[in-house]
């Protein structure tokens, strides 16, 4: 049974004339008659009483008409809904990113790209357990892009052939502590304190790829402070959770400047070392090399033209580079 047979039948039941309905359906009258006959064969009963003029429906036809109307309406409604969803999906970009970046970086960066893209919908995921999981989601097509940190000095490397990237921002990880009663840091690392230093870190999750920030910070500690003893006292996936614990005087942590700049300005947090002990990391957008869908290629070109930032070694004013994105 074909949908057009039902539409033919509905047209004929309304017009009562084969010739008129054939014209309305843009087919010849013989072809139209054959399609009505095909529908009757499929139903197994005569639907049209051809002995009267204008023609009228048989009892079976009157019984079948509301069914035909329901089938046609339901089919077109479903088609329209699917087309609308498919159209929206074609204009939707799905990002995965770390929770810190999802609120400290992504909103302003996307706003900077808005004048250059017709993407109408954005999805954001920050629930993957480790860098490996983020990259696997990218490779499988579960997400379109991954945005994360990358430290060129870290031992943790991402395969650039498999996951090409663009630098879209820069972040500084700042060693901070809560101040004492005089506003001075409770631990000042350059003084090389002899006692163990309580240390708050991003969760390693027993997965060496779980946190790029973990490996960046620990690489610096091993390089610059091999004679100091850091004792992990708190681990968390979210840097905002670590920030809250540092504010409560639990120890030292390297935190993104973008989430603690106001704390430093107010004196609620203070540096635990000199600025040269900050860690500068790139914020990069990664794609899977085999992702060739038109919308993804187009968006990547837009990022190349309007959303990149050259890596910088100069100290940053938190948030400044966000405002520069897309305004070159």
Segment 44-71, tens digit of pLDDT: 999 999 888 888 999 999 999 999 999 9
Rounded Cα–Cα distance for residues 95 and 123 (Å): 6
Query: What confidence tens digit (pLDDT) does each residue in 24-41 have?
Result: 787 899 999 999 999 999
Determine the angle formed by the axes of helices 3-15 and 59-90, rounding to 10 degrees: 130
Query: What confidence tens digit (pLDDT) does each residue in 146-158 have?
Result: 998 876 655 556 7
The SS3 of residue 14 is: helix
Rounded Cα–Cα distance for residues 5 and 13 (Å): 12
Least confident of 32-41, 132-141, 244-253: 132-141
Q: Mean pLDDT for the chain?
A: 82
> Does 3-89 match 92-324 in CATH topology?
no
Average of pLDDT values for 271-279?
88
Q: What is the DSSP letter of 160?
A: T
Domain boundaries, the chain: 3-89, 92-324
The SS3 of residue 141 is: coil
Contact 191, 245 (CB under 8 A): no
Give the CATH architecture of domain 3-89.
Orthogonal Bundle (1.10)
Q: pLDDT tier at 85 (50, 70, 90 boundaries)?
A: low
E strand residue ranges, 119-191:
121-125, 145-150, 165-177
Give the CATH architecture of domain 92-324.
3-Layer(aba) Sandwich (3.40)
């Amino acid at each position: 049974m074909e949908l057009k047979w039902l539409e033919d039948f509905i047209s004929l039941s309304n017009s009562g004339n084969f010739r008129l309905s054939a014209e309305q359906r843009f087919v010849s009258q013989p072809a139209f008659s054959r399609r009505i006959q095909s529908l009757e064969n499929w139903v197994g009963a005569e639907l049209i009483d051809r002995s009267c003029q204008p023609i009228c429906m048989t009892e079976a036809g009157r019984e079948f008409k509301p069914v035909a109307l329901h089938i046609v309406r339901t089919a077109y409604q479903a088609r329209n809904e699917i087309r609308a969803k498919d159209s929206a999906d074609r204009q939707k970009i799905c990002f995965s990113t770390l929770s810190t970046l999802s609120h400290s970086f992504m909103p302003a960066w996307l706003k900077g790209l808005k004048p250059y893209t017709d993407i109408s919908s954005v999805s954001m995921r920050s629930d993957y357990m480790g860098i490996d999981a983020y990259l696997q989601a990218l490779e499988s097509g579960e997400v379109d892009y991954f945005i994360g940190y990358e430290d060129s000095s870290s031992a943790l490397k991402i395969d650039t052939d498999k996951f090409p990237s663009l630098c879209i921002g820069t972040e500084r990880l700042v060693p901070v502590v809560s101040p004492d009663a005089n506003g001075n840091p409770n631990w000042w690392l350059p003084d090389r304190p002899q006692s163990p230093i309580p240390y708050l870190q991003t969760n390693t999750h027993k997965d060496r790829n779980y946190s790029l920030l973990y490996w960046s910070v620990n690489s610096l500690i091993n390089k610059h402070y091999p004679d100091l003893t850091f004792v992990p006292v708190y681990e968390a996936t979210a840097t905002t959770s670590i920030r809250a614990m540092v504010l409560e005087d639990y120890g030292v942590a390297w935190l993104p400047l973008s989430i603690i700049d106001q704390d430093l300005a107010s004196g609620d947090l203070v540096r635990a070392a000199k600025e040269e002990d900050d860690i500068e990391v790139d914020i990069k957008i990664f794609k899977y090399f085999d992702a060739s869908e038109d919308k993804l290629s187009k968006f990547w070109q837009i990022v190349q033209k309007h959303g990149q930032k050259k890596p910088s070694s100069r100290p940053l004013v938190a948030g400044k580079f966000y405002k520069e994105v897309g305004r070159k």
